[in-house]
Amino acid sequence: MTRGPQPGAARRPATTAALGADVSAFAGRPLAEVFPAVTRTVGKGALGNGWTADEAARATLLSGAGRAEIAELYRFGDTAEKLAILKALQLEDIEQIVGEDGLALVEDAIRTNDQRLLAAALGPYATRHLPAATFRQAVLKCVFAGVPLAAVDGLPARADDELKRMMADFAAERRAAGRSVPEDLQPYLER
């Protein structure tokens, strides 16, 4: 199975600077109180570069924060804040700040029962940092939770033999129960 570049992939911002978000309205106030209130100030309109206004503003606020501060914002974040932080991990400067510590955030999101968090966790940062065993379990969890596999950045590139074996077993279990096998699993079942 092959997958060409996504439409618009070339224009995808690689750093927070490329997002072009203005966060001057938030200056001088505690980040812990500013970060949750971002959407009420900038809205959530699409910027046309794959980001919404609030996601971009939150990422830009993170670019001025420290590693521990980002972890704490995630810890106390509501779903929208957590989604924004997980998305921001793909930006080079944010990845620089969090280093390997971003893994703890990704793993936290994978443990939840919320499809949105699960999908957001499996972005380019997870592709680059997540250990193989964790990645395989997370992908299988997507299959169970109904998260489309197209949303997983690391697929198909990181689909190793072990993951394909797990997918085949899952499909066999479904067929044995007389249940359908998700459409997007098919390409991984062809040997």
Q: Which residues bind another protein (CB under 8 A)?
A: 32-37, 39-41, 43, 76, 78-80, 113-114
Q: Least distance to another protein from the beta carbon of 81, Å?
A: 8
In the bound state with another protein, the residue whose beta carbon lies nearer, of 72 and 93, is 72
In which residue are the tokens 């062809």 written?
190
| Distance of alpha carbon 53 from alpha carbon 56, whole angstroms | 5
- Name 46's bridge partners: 52
Q: Least distance to another protein from the beta carbon of 77, Å?
A: 9
Burial of 19 (0-12, 13-18, 19+ CB in 10 A): buried
Q: Least distance to another protein from the beta carbon of 183, Å?
A: 23
In the bound state with another protein, the residue whose beta carbon lies nearer, of 47 and 80, is 80
Q: Give the tokens for residue 121.
A: 């966790």
In the bound state with another protein, the residue whose beta carbon lies nearer, of 35 and 135, is 35
Q: Least distance to another protein from the beta carbon of 71, Å?
A: 14
Q: Least distance to another protein from the beta carbon of 58, Å?
A: 12
In the bound state with another protein, the residue whose beta carbon lies nearer, of 39 and 137, is 39
In the bound state with another protein, the residue whose beta carbon lies nearer, of 86 and 155, is 86
Residues 143 and 156: beta-carbon distance below 8 Å: no
| Distance of alpha carbon 79 from alpha carbon 47, whole angstroms | 21
Q: Give the tokens for residue 41.
A: 């100030």
Burial of 181 (0-12, 13-18, 19+ CB in 10 A): middle
| Distance of alpha carbon 160 from alpha carbon 155, whole angstroms | 10
